[in-house]
Structure 1
Amino acid sequence: MARFLLRSALLVSAVALVPAVTTAIAAADVQTYRDLDQFMSVFERVRSEYVDKVDDKTLIKGAIDGMLASLDPHSSYLDARDFTNLKTQTDGAYGGLGLTVSLEDGAVKIITPTEDTPAFRAGLKAGDYITHLDGVLIYGGTLDEAVDKMRGAAGTPVRLTIVRPGRDKPFDVTLRREVIQLKPVKWEVKNRVGIININTFNKNTGEAVRAALAGIDKAVGGQPLGYVIDLRSNPGGLLDQAIEVGDAFLDRGEIVSQRGREKNDIERYYARPGDLSHGLPMVVLVDAGSASAAEIVAGALQDQKRAIVMGEKSFGKGSVQTLLPLSDETALRLTTARYFTPSGRSVQEGGIQPDILVPQITDPDYKDKPRLREADLRRHLINEAKVDDSVLEDDTKPDPRFAATAEALKKQGVEDFQLDYALKTILRLGTTPPAKVANAAPAGGAKAAKR
């Protein structure tokens, strides 16, 4: 009887769609309907014979999750809880530890810790694995279950057991939960150089960057010598905010294009007249944690010869996800396009290659730290123009510029070598007459042009 009712429901759904999809049904592969019939058979068998009773909602959600997981790592079904969590994160405030995590073969892996959060202050790093929470093994569970356990009331402690590649034994870290109030942008001035640290791309990021540029001008009583735009460990966010940020530093030209399934499905986004950074020299810092919207900004400024990109190769997420509402409480986050930099590059898999490769030698683990990027994720989209840079990344020839040890640099007062190197580069460029700035970039670097 149950089998008959389920088949009847499926038939009614199909009939209701006939007016809209008659052509598609006529051209459909008969095998597809056989597969759907098999799916219904599996559903009924599990529903009636599984050792524990499982409600239909759980089975259907599991089937949807499995279908989307077979596509790529970024497409997913958002139930009411997920939908609320996504909205909370894009609004810029959520409770927890400040971690961006993924699930890899049943293990919870850290993508990046967000700056100025409990996880960041505790020294957790991209590529670390979380195996236990408060001594309870979480391997083999779902990502939602792990995230739920890491969240909780502000001020309450949670103990994480961490496995870090390169270390012989796991170690425990006890963190105290906080209400994470994400400030998307922080800025400061050092030696007349404006430093703008963009941590995420939520709905306030574009406005915050414009405010930072105005604040820097006011702080120096005019114009600074130049800017360092810090996009390291920025996991990305909203596409429209990446466009707003790119627009703030460009006077003209394309910022990004997105291309869908069809050849003519192309949208291009351009900068409006008015460079709020006055055409001054700029360095953009990126690393393996710079992803998505962060890569859009870095790629635009690099291709438009507006900035020198410095640091390490970025994450390599070159796809666009569209939020498709299914009901008032649920939605589908589906990969609908790939984005391309102004020169037509796709950063999918390959990431943004820095003009000047600068390792973070103030991190004592930088040589052994695993490089977690889009290309490491299962079922990631393939870049047809993929280039294998592993030989370049693993080049062990010593560079005299980067020979200092973390301990020696600390004694010199250098806590962040990449930022220090970027500041010194701006100081060299900022004291050069504008007509000569284009030729003043360090060897191997991009040319920063006066706009």
Structure 2
Amino acid sequence: MKRILLGATLPFLAFVAPFGAGATSPSATETPAAGAVTSAAAGQRAAADPIDAEAMNLLQQVLDRVRSQYVDTVPDEKIIEAAVKGILTSLDPHSSYLDTSSYADIRVQTSGEFGGLGIEITVEDGLVKVVSPIDDTPASRAGIKPGDLIVKIGDEAVQGMTIKDAVERMRGPVGTPVTISVRRGEDEPFPLTLERAVVRSQAVKYETEGNVGYIRITSFTEQTQSGLEKALAEIERKLDGRVAGYVVDLRNNPGGLLMQAVSVADSFLDSGTIVSTRGRGDVETQRFEAAPGDLTGGRPVIVLVNGGSASASEIVAGALQDHGRAVLLGTQSFGKGSVQTIMPLISGKHAVKMTTARYYTPSGRSIQAVGITPDISVEQAKLEPVEQTAARREADLPGALGGKNGERAADHAAEHPADGPETAATAVAATEKPFDYQRARAVDLLTGMAAFRQPVMQTTPQFVEQKLTEPTGS
């Protein structure tokens, strides 16, 4: 990974994006980089002005009334915690108080590592369904397959259980056992006892489509940059270096760690600003610059975005768009342009998550509550077969001339029937995976660009000059 040139930095930086009223998505934390220098402005803000005595007296009066006159006795800890929550949630949708459980969850989510079985799951018809096992984990080694249904965890049936409940029951200390009951197809459920191990979540998935590399980044955790580097290396190896370009899919990526977003953007850039932040009073608190070395060798890049692409995703998309390094395709992004700082409290078990800055793209744009507009607007769509009569071609005509190699037209037509417009749609409908129209457009664009760059083959036939004699009348 390339070294990032840092200006001033703030501790515990986080990017989060809630989806839906009152919902809270995974947060992200950052620690200062080695050698980073904290700006004077940031230091000055640490020294807060004295609290207004009258306002403080109001809070004290309310606390006293609750403690002395509420119908039931309420522990002081609960009263204070409620007051703290109220203070923070009243600021903006992204500021909040993190109790012991929430703070522990954030640390797990941003590290990308946890003790568990290594299964990506969803809930279907009230049952826990395996989306896919993660490679080299207890689940993959035990033979868990996509589509398997987990019907019991331990002695508890999962019918009606939420994903969060199921995950909590399967995670646990490394080395401890857990028994699950698995139903595969129409067979009877069978038990599997697995030993929990360290699992690294797959923040990056990749595959090839023709000569195009497809990279899906689902979140920005501590595993993202290493996952991206692995994806790029494997795609290059698989295609033997003949890569037409890359599709980087940031759709429905809610964000994550700032430094991972900076690092991912830097992977596609040689120089220039990646992102800057400004705190209270519009004072710039930090600026991140790209270092030399494009990991793709300057190959074309298309970035997919939609309304679920937020925060760290928008940092990457905005940087690549402003530098003209990538074409953005899809729909308007979420529009979260603020920075949250996660500050551990004295106990170390609780923390405060609070908005401390706004971030700006290299051109100085703030995308807060606006989002990033793609270069090519493409709504997600469904491709359906269209009934259409196949058109006649030259080879279908009686007595049509054969080709240069002497093959008769009738024989060629029999071996290569005409493809009507319905053929492609029918093929799409028959594929196992749901058709992704936006991804298909991106792949087609890169494939077309690669074809346009290929030199035209010198296959022009040698024509013999003939003198045509016009008949003369007598």
| Fold in common (TM above 0.5) | yes
- Counterpart of 1:284 in structure 2 is 303
Structure 1 residue 47 displacement after superposition: 1.7
User: Aligned to 2:284, which of 265, 272, 278?
Assistant: 265
2:223 aligned partner: 204
Aligned residue in 1 for 2:327:
308
Could you tell me which residue of structure 1 aligns to residue 61 of structure 2?
41
Runs (4+) of structure 1 exceeding 4 A deviation are: 20-23, 93-100, 133-136, 146-151, 178-181, 406-409, 411-414
Structure 1 equivalent of residue 394 of structure 2: none
CA distance in 1, matches of 2:78, 2:302: 49
Number of the residue aligned with 1:75:
95
Residue 269 (structure 2) pairs with residue 250 (structure 1):
yes
Structure 1 pair 48–362 and aligned structure 2 pair: CA distance change class (3 A):
farther
Does the CA contact (< 8 Å) of 1:362 and 1:410 recur in 2? Answer: no
Kept after mapping to 1: 8 A contact 2:278/2:286: yes
Q: Of Structure 1 and Structure 2, which has the larger fraction of its residues in helix?
A: 1
Q: Which residue of 2 aligns with 1:61?
A: 81
Pairing 1:223-234 to 2, within 5 Å after superposition? 223-234=242-253
- After TM superposition, the structure 1 = structure 2 runs for residues 9-408 of structure 1, keeping only pairs within 5 Å, are 24-25=49-50, 32-93=52-113, 151-154=167-170, 182-327=201-346, 328-362=348-382
The structural deviation recorded for 1:245 is 0.1
Contact 2:200 2:223 in 1 (8 A): no
Q: Give the 3-state SS of the residue equivalent to 1:262 in structure 2.
A: helix
Once the two structures are superposed, residues 84-109 of structure 1 have per-residue CA deviations (whole angstroms, 9 ceiling, x without a partner) of: 11100011146899899xxxxxxxxx
For normalisation by structure 2, the TM-score amounts to: 0.60
Give the superposition deviation at 1:244: 0.3
Q: 1:135 to 1:33 in 2, by over 3 A?
A: farther
CA distance in 2, matches of 1:349, 1:212: 32
**8 A Cα contact 2:121 2:132, kept in partner:** no
Residue type at the aligned position of 2:73: K
- The question of whether the paired residues in 2 share the 8 Å contact of 1:280 and 1:430 is answered with no
Alignment CA distance shift 1:227-1:57 (3 Å): same
SS in structure 2 of the partner of residue 201 of structure 1: coil
Distance 1:22 1:93, change over 3 A: closer
Match of 1:410 in 2: 429
% identical equivalent positions: 43
- The TM-score with structure 1 as length reference comes to 0.63
Q: CA deviation at 1:181?
A: 5.5
- For residues 2-39 of structure 1, the C-alpha deviation after alignment (integer angstroms, 9 at most, x for no partner) is xxxxxxxxxxxxxxxxxx999944xx6xxx32222121
Flag the structure with larger Rg: 2
How many Å separate the matches in 2 of 1:78 and 1:250? 36
**Preserved contact between residue 93 and residue 182 of structure 1 (Cα < 8 Å):** yes
| 1:297 positional shift | 0.4
Q: Distance in 2 between matches of 1:255 and 1:221?
A: 31
Partners of 1:245 and 1:239 lie apart in 2 by 10
RMSD value over aligned CA atoms?
Answer: 3.7
- Structure 2 CA distance for aligned equivalents of residues 430 and 274 of structure 1: 22
Q: Offset of 1:264 from its aligned partner? A: 3.4
1:336 match: secondary structure: strand
Q: Distance in 1 between matches of 2:446 and 2:164?
A: 44
- Identify the range of structure 1 (179-188 vs 190-199) with the bigger mean alpha-carbon deviation: 179-188
Q: Give structure 2 stretches of 5+ with no counterpart.
A: 1-44, 123-130, 134-145, 148-157, 171-178, 182-195, 385-424, 456-474
Measured in 2, the distance between the counterparts of 1:185 and 1:420 equals 19
Task: Look up the equivalent residue of 1:283 and give its one-letter code.
Answer: I
Q: Secondary structure at the match of 1:221?
A: coil
CA contact (8 A) 1:232 1:285 kept: yes
Q: CA deviation at 1:344?
A: 0.9
